[in-house]
Structure 1
Amino acid sequence: MSWSEMQPLLSQACWDTLYMVGWSALIAVVGGLPLGVLLVLTDRGGLLQNAVANKAVGQIVNIARSMPFIILMVALMGFTRSIVGTTIGREAAIVPLAVGAVPFFARLVETAVREVDGGLVEAVQSMGGNTWTVVRKVLVPESLPSLISALTTTVVALIGYSAMAGTVGAGGLGDLAVRYGYQRYESELMWITVAILAVVITLIQFAGDSGARVLHRRAGKGGRPLRFRVLGGRTR
């Protein structure tokens, strides 16, 4: 197969992969960030300590995380069809990708938020800050470098999942590699897709690591005083 024949196939496959991963990552952040914070708040000693709620949410997250992605895709076929009307294609792949990514990201968020100094939380409470203020002014901002790293890890995992989804008709680079590299013995095209995936993952990892380092350096310079930040830029 000549390059002129491969180029449109690779372009479409790259777009399909980025489309699936982009939407799935967005849903993972929207769903996983509050879920991870909730796991910390409801844990023992948390601001919203609730053992029953914490165990219930934790078990749901653990079960979802423990399920292999290929099984998750099959198990969610009925759910996927009810949402997007089909179980084939990139839109259909977003559903199991997002369902698998939300608990994965939530656990990483939980780990990142737990690293925040408890003294900062106590300081905000002493200033009269409520739970929402603690989350918005302390927990999320102070854990942001770790959250960026968590998102990077999630996106890299989603790229791998999307390649797996391609084997069952979701499109993308995984589908291209299987249909042409395996079924039609176009090994050259298959190795090109592997190289593209490696480059994309490397760039994403570099961007994530760079962003986390920049935020760490800014945090190390001290920034504005905690009292100033908690009061929204006002002083008393």
Structure 2
Amino acid sequence: MFDPRLALASLSGRSDAAWAAAGAPYAGAAFLGGVALDDPAREAARELVARDREEFLPPDPVAFVDDQLAALADVPLRAGFNVRSATREPIRRVARVCRDRDALLEINAHCRQDELCAVGCGETLLRDADRLCEYVATAAEAGATVGVKVRAEVPAVDLPALAADLEAAGASFVHVDAMDSEAVVADVADACDLFVIANNGVRDAATVREYLDYGADAVSVGRPSTDPVVLERVRAAVDDRVAVADR
């Protein structure tokens, strides 16, 4: 999927091509975005901006994805894009862009802001597995390498079972925000053959070791992704842990 097994996780409204390029010396992948693709998601994003959150709101979001990925064509990492949509057709269009750019497409089933959930985006998709699997299947049929960003500790959501369903729908990876339930990574890894990226609190060798020992294939860094000190420390820990596993 990518190497080294460290990804930069999207930070809403801040994770653009320049951000990814700055982290490229440390990471094997970077998920740009998130970006709202359709009218309901974009209106929700505008409401978030109105209460002082950062969001990408380009005139044409699919063209924006293409332009940002083009800017990373010569940067040595696997680019990806985190996207939000309340409807399926924009997923198909952005999947074609990601296919043509050899980029990962990450469907956002993670954000929990009320505005996004109200229109059926983000965390709402965790409770609507059929629709989420339709999004995955749509992207996979368009030729994209597709995965999903998910969140632990959502009531009545069985993440391991959902991961198995996503794999059956055509997903290649799952990006797990473990919250305070780190062991859920092991449950997800045991339930499927997806490439598992573990997220939340990745700062040092101890957190890297914990997630990889639970069966994650890679880890991701979110808020400190602009801090080269943290990235250098995490990258060294990933390299050391993978070298031990390969002996």
- Shorter-chain-normalised TM-score: which range? under 0.3
Higher relative contact order (CA 8 A, sep 6+): 1
Q: Which has the greater radius of gyration?
A: 1
Structure (1 or 2) with the greater strand fraction: 2
TM norm structure 2: 0.25
Structure (1 or 2) with the greater helix fraction: 1
